[in-house]
Amino acid sequence: MMPMPVRRALRRWNRLYRETRLVALSLREKDHPVFAHVVVTRRCNLDCAYCSEYDTHSKPVPIEELLRRIDKLAALGTTTITITGGETLLHPDLEQAIARIRSYKMICVMITNGYLLSVDRIKSLNRAGLDRMQISIDNIEPDDVSKKSLRILDLRLRWLAEHAEFPVHIHSVVGAGTTRPDDVLIIQKRAKELGHLSTAGIVHDETGKIMAIDAESRRVLKEVEDNTRSAFSFARHNPWRKKLLAGQPNDWHCPAGGRHLYICEYGLVHYCMAQRGYPAIPLDQYTIEDCVREAKKPKPCAPYCTVFCVHRIAWVDQLRENPNQALVQLFPPDENTGASTIPAPVRVLQSLFSGSAGKTPSPTTVAFRKAAMRLLKIS
């Protein structure tokens, strides 16, 4: 068997290739779903005080039904599926679902509280082809609000550092007493020591609206962003998040219902986890026409929305329609010098797949674009 660093490197390059291809597809096609969240069970083994996503008794979605839903999402042209719950590791056939997602060349992400991880389960997730794992950790020691605690999960994080062939993101929710804000910095430091990534989310109510956060939490969120390893982190540059943290609403169009779908345990399509009940159409009857219609509908919850993955899709759509404006929104000019801060690779991708607004692409750009499309197997 190949040594772990080699296996990880191969998987990393394969994932990078597929993710680049999917970003290019998302830039080119404007109607298909980019992200879908699929609930595999509503049951959870924990009971976080701020959570409205779980119960204590539901059965897992039967695997045949789950596979049918994945097939349907693939037929709609979905590029990334995130497996969510409840607690996803409670699903006995989770690996079959992951393998099915990967068989369509989609990116497969899973969210878990990590309690049920073991070395054997990590190896089985490797074999299934999992692309990314997100683990939520809210505090150092368990308390009445959350038991997703570093002290309990540290051993699992070490197992992941040793055996996982996929990247692991540690996600912490900050604000409204969910955690002691400085715990998040300790969690981030530990994540870095183990080679994991870390992000911090803002606490929201059950409708997705940001909740009031104090100055201490604001400081911690800023510090986590500043410590983020990747220069291209959307969390770090996200202009929607910056305005929300400044207490201001965002003026944007939410494309959920088309570009983002949330599939509940009953197989109904909803805008997102926070806006369940709209449009609540069975996935097996959902069409591209439904995607287009629902994506266009105005969403009254948009101004204070904290669902950052949908912001990201809206930004990609804006990049296609008005690339210059989108890039300046994400990478504003340097405050002191006025110089552009747009990273070179982002400029190359933008010019290859979306062109410059109002300009006819040069023959070299057209040739480059065709070659890249062939390389990425986008017909």
Residue 185 near ligand SF4 by CB under 6 A = no
Residue 244 near ligand SF4 by CB under 6 A = no
- Tally Cβ neighbours within 10 Å of residue 234: 17
Among 81, 176, 295, 305, indicate the residue that binds ligand SF4 (CB under 6 A). Answer: 305
Smallest gap from residue 337 Cβ to ligand SF4 (A): 35
Contact 233, 337 (CB under 8 A): no
| Strand ordering across the sheet containing 132-136 | 197-202, 168-174, 132-136, 107-112, 80-84, 35-39, 260-263, 268-270, 279-282
* Amino acid of residue 25: L
Residue 157 near ligand SF4 by CB under 6 A = no
Q: Which is nearer to ligand SF4, 172 or 188 (CB)?
A: 172
Backbone angles phi, psi at 246, to 5 degrees: -85, 5
Q: Which is nearer to ligand SF4, 129 or 175 (CB)?
A: 175
Q: Is 157 exposed, middle or buried, given 0-12, 13-18 or 19+ CB atoms closer than 10 A?
A: buried
Residue 47 near ligand SF4 by CB under 6 A = yes
Smallest gap from residue 47 Cβ to ligand SF4 (A): 5
Residue 164 near ligand SF4 by CB under 6 A = no
Smallest gap from residue 239 Cβ to ligand SF4 (A): 15
Among 27, 34, 40, 44, indicate the residue that binds ligand SF4 (CB under 6 A). Answer: 44
Greatest CA separation found in the chain?
63
Q: Which is nearer to ligand SF4, 24 or 36 (CB)?
A: 36
β-strand partners of 69: none
Peptide bond between residue 247 and the one before it cis (omega within 30 degrees of 0): no
Q: Which stretch binds ligand SF4 (CB under 6 A): 24-32, 151-159, 221-229, 270-278?
A: 270-278
Q: Which stretch binds ligand SF4 (CB under 6 A): 68-76, 223-231, 301-309, 371-379?
A: 301-309
End-to-end CA distance of the chain: 36
Give me the 76-115 binding string for ligand SF4, x by CB under 6 A, dash otherwise: ---------xxx-------------------------x--
Smallest gap from residue 253 Cβ to ligand SF4 (A): 9
Total chain residues near ligand SF4 (CB under 6 A) = 25
Among 25, 51, 152, 373, indicate the residue that binds ligand SF4 (CB under 6 A). Answer: 51
Q: Which is nearer to ligand SF4, 87 or 131 (CB)?
A: 87
Residue 256 near ligand SF4 by CB under 6 A = yes
Residue 175 near ligand SF4 by CB under 6 A = no
Contact 244, 306 (CB under 8 A): yes
| Interface residue list for ligand SF4 (CB under 6 A) | 44, 46-48, 51, 53-54, 85-87, 113, 148, 208, 254, 256, 271-272, 274-275, 299, 301-302, 305, 307, 310
